[in-house]
Chain A
Amino acid sequence: MWNFLISTYHTVTASAVHIFAAIGALVVILGAVDLLFKTIPQLAEIKSKFWHWLADTYNFRKAKKMAVKSDMEKIINHVVFQLQDELPRGWLQRAAIKWVRDITKPAETPEGEVILRVRPNADQNLSLAYGVHSFFSRALFPKIGDLIPSDRRGGAILLVTRRALASHSPSLRTLFEDNLLEQAIRANADVLTSFNEFETLDNRGFFTSALLREMHEVTLLARFSPLRTTIGTELTSIVKHMLAFARELGTGIVTTAHWSRKGPVTSYAFLLVARPDNNGVKNYVVRARERLAEGITRLYILAREEQKDFALQVIREIAKLPEYRLDETFDLSKDYRCHEGGIGALLVVEQIAEEDNHEPETSAVKEA
């Protein structure tokens, strides 16, 4: 009897261990699958279709809510994932819609948190558009948004919102233009000017690669200095410079002065990588050194998709110069010839102490 009890105990324990292990493995697998569905756009599309099918077939209220949630997440995150490849790390995070069932519960509605209203049926597309716009209103320019002039900030948010909605369907783009854009322009006509300027820069890949970075850098550096009151003027000057540069690129002749800009807060230059000639990377390294001599502290290297390999060589050689540090590489939505794709890099000038400057020269120019 005693032996029977002991053997039964061992059998149950062993089974329990197997059961718990199986449950644990299932939880991990389901969690991984759920994460895949949230982070891979194609799977998010499948998830959205599934919930729509369930909602249409069985008219479950919960399925309708899940369908709306998956639609919003799909639209927002499609462009968030693109922008994450174009913008610095940490700027944007994937949206995760959380339904609030009871606004009176502090756990569901913390103080200060915005709770968006989502309407069903006919107004759903408009809710979707408002939701996308609200997301980017809070996600772009975190912490420093109040310092950026409202027309500049508004124009940037509208451009990104349009990208998100237009990528989903033409009808959402029309809805965006008829409602969000129209309302914004009526509230502040300057928003249209900013929107158009940013659109022009976006067509050549400068909006996310250089402009947003410079806007952020200027605001960060100037916010606790006497230059705080001139942030708007400085941003306008940067936009004007980049527009002039983009315009001249279209003509094929760029004034020497427009390759770079030295401002009271930041100074930057562009280095556009084209097809390699007989000199390879040498010419680019020479130009990078020239920018250094001019006192430029931020160098944007931009290249077309076809020149990616050569551009990586250029970036690598310039990064070997002791004064430069490779800050980041990123994707471009469009290159400087308005074609899809491209890569970019930002190199910043490091302040090197004189007594530490004993690095041997390794650049291609010196080796020649």
Chain B
Amino acid sequence: MFSGAYASLRKMRYDFIMASFFRKLRRVKSQKVRAVYDDDLIPMLEKLGFLAQIQAGEIKCKYTGEQITLGNLHAIVRTADGFDFISASAVARGKLK
């Protein structure tokens, strides 16, 4: 009786360990997170003419409408006809998907 209970417990532990192992295999799949370093971003913005527009206060955040500056620029999203600029405010960051 005890050897049967012990074998059953061993099997359950084995099943649980195997389930944990297969859960660890999930780590292989990844989700790409695109990022741009400032050293690459600023020259690109300058080349595209956006830097001058940002410095002139002409670019607004897509979600909050606030003025985008080099201090609060958080993210860029490519659209069909250009780029959207996202500020670092909580509201704007919260709306990013």
Please state if B75 and A114 are interface contacts (CB–CB under 8 Å): yes
Determine whether A237 belongs to the interface, using a CB cutoff of 8 Å to chain B: no
Considering the chains assembled together, what is the distance between the CA atoms of A150 and B95 in angstroms?
9
Instruction: Kindly state whether residue A133 has any CB partner on chain B within 8 Å.
Output: yes
Contact between A61 and B39 (Cβ–Cβ < 8 Å)? yes
Size bracket, chain B contacts: 35 or more
A109 with B96: CB separation less than 8 A? no
Indicate if A97 sits at the interface (CB-CB under 8 A).
yes
B75 touches A111 (CB 8 A): no
Question: Do the beta carbons of B78 and A110 come within 8 Å of each other?
Answer: yes
Structural contact, A117 and B38, CB atoms closer than 8 A: yes
Q: A81-B27, A89-B26 given as contacts; is B33 within 8 A of A96 (CB)?
A: yes
A170 contacts B by Cβ under 8 Å: no
The A-contacting residues of B in range 28-50, CB under 8 angstroms, are 28-41, 44, 48
A130 cross-chain contacts in B, Cβ below 8 A: 74, 88, 93
Contacts of B90 in A (CB 8 A): 180, 183-184, 186-188
Chain B 1-44 interface mask (CB, 8 Å, partner A; 1/0): 00000001100110010011001101111111111111111001
Which among A39, A108, A117 is the interface contact of B41 at CB below 8 angstroms?
A: A117
Residues of B within 8 A of A133 (CB): 93
Tell me the total A-B contact number using a CB cutoff of 8 A.
169
For A110, the closest partner residue in chain B by CB is: B78
Q: How many residues of A contact B (CB 8 A)?
A: 68
Verify if A42 is at the interface (C-beta below 8 Å from B): no
Q: How far is the CA of A35 from the CA of B88 in the complex (A)?
A: 33
CA–CA, A72 and B35, complex, Å: 11
Q: Out of B29, B48, B96, which one reaches A104, CB within 8 Å?
A: B48
Shortest beta-carbon distance, A45 to chain B, in Å?
Answer: 15
Kindly provide the distance from the CB of B77 to the nearest chain A CB, expressed in whole angstroms: 5
**Shortest beta-carbon distance, A217 to chain B, in Å?**
20
A95-B33, A106-B78, A134-B75 given. 13 additional CB < 8 A pairs?
Answer: A93-B31, A94-B30, A98-B32, A100-B35, A100-B36, A104-B48, A112-B79, A114-B34, A115-B76, A116-B36, A137-B94, A154-B94, A313-B12
* 7 A–B pairs (Cβ distance < 8 Å), ordered by A: A84-B23, A85-B23, A99-B35, A101-B36, A115-B77, A154-B94, A188-B90
